[in-house]
Amino acid sequence: MSYPRRFATAPLAETPEAPDGLTATVPRQLVHRASVAETFLTGMNRVAPDRFTVFAEWPRAHQLHVSPDRSAYEPLLVAETVRQAGTLLAHTAYDVPLGHQFVLRELRISTRPERLAVGITPAEPVLHLTVTDVDHRGARTAGFRYEADVRLDGERVATAHVAATWTSAAVYRRLRGGRSAATVSPLPPPLGLPPAVVDRALPTDVVLAPCGQPDRWRLRVDTGHAVFFDHPLDHVPGMLLLEASRQAVRARRGSDRRTPVSFRALFHRYTELDLPAWIETSDAAGAHAADVQVVGRQGETTVFECEVGIVGG
């Protein structure tokens, strides 16, 4: 059986190796990043029609994705790396044009924090990806699901499952009813929780604000944040919602010494920038001893749900 050509660009892993093992990141446009510093992928090989090896590099220090004491990589760094890998595959292996709008529908990730220690050099994880289900709209792909096995030095540090869809810019404009980064006026961010409460070093990285109710917070959205809003957006990005889930687990009563290690998130609707959003937590009977269910709401609408697995405490 023959397969259609899917690479829209040259295979990235075939670029010559730089001296002393140094390498460059993939083009930032292919992972929907404006900043090279926020681009974590360095190359890709296709090993079968729907199987790929993706190479990455993680910095030893990062505003969000390395622990404040710089001893450990955060699980959400793994999530962002897996997200970037799917975007890279879509553009280079499944003929998705640059300029298409992507929607993250589902993300499940489980990490092994004992294997996420920061070393004396930047970590170089290898992601083994398998695309399991490709959706088509006419002759073009419209979305897919993929599994990721993330390894460092040959040892598994995480597994993930992602579902994403995409659409052309013109269709996206119609779906959004004219809402765009240029036309939406974001609400001013409220004063956040103390950074130490959510295990953050800087007030600017806090995404929850108190509202006077236990286990409930207002989502704090700062569109000037250099990581979450690396480029202008017309809605709250999925990675900010995952960070809100992480911080909610840290902030809820009795969770001060518990560490989030897994996330099972469903994104139901766009979380709008010009409406207040609320983050609520409750106990969940999951795989871990004390999983937490996080729900995001705008008005009466549930915009996302995330079950966070935690250990320790």
Q: What is the pLDDT of residues 78-133, one digit of tens each?
A: 999 999 999 999 999 999 999 999 999 999 999 999 999 999 999 999 999 999 99
CB 291 within 8 A of CB 283: yes
Check residue 283 and give its pLDDT. Answer: 85
**Residues forming CATH 3.10.129.10 domain(s) in the chain:** 12-174, 184-312
Contacts of 63 (CB under 8 A, 6+ apart): 202, 205, 226, 227
| Secondary structure string (H, E, C) spanning 25-65 | CCCHHHHCCCCHHHCCEEEEEEEECCEEEEEECECCCCCCC
- CATH topology (fold) of 184-312: Thiol Ester Dehydrase; Chain A (3.10.129)
Contacts of 152 (CB under 8 A, 6+ apart): 115, 116, 123, 124, 125, 126
- Res. 2 pLDDT band, cuts 50 70 90: very low
Is a pLDDT exceeding 70 seen at residue 313? Answer: no
Is a pLDDT exceeding 70 seen at residue 46? Answer: yes
Helix (H) or strand (E) segment spanning residue 174 = helix 169-175
Q: What is the pTM of this model?
A: 0.90
Name the burial class of residue 69, with classes exposed (0-12), middle (13-18) and buried (19+) by CB atoms within 10 angstroms of its CB: exposed
Check residue 4 and give its pLDDT. Answer: 33
Average pLDDT in the 250-264 region?
81
As a dihedral over the C-alpha atoms of residue 178, residue 83, residue 280, residue 192, rounded to 10 degrees, the angle is -80
- Res. 311 pLDDT band, cuts 50 70 90: confident
Bridge partners of 126, per DSSP, are 55, 151
Check residue 1 and give its pLDDT. Answer: 36
Check residue 312 and give its pLDDT. Answer: 73
Mean pLDDT for the chain overall: 89
Summarised one tens digit per residue, pLDDT across range 272-282 is 999 999 999 99
Which one is the CATH code of 12-174: 3.30.70.2740, 3.10.129.10, 3.40.50.970, 1.10.1060.10?
3.10.129.10
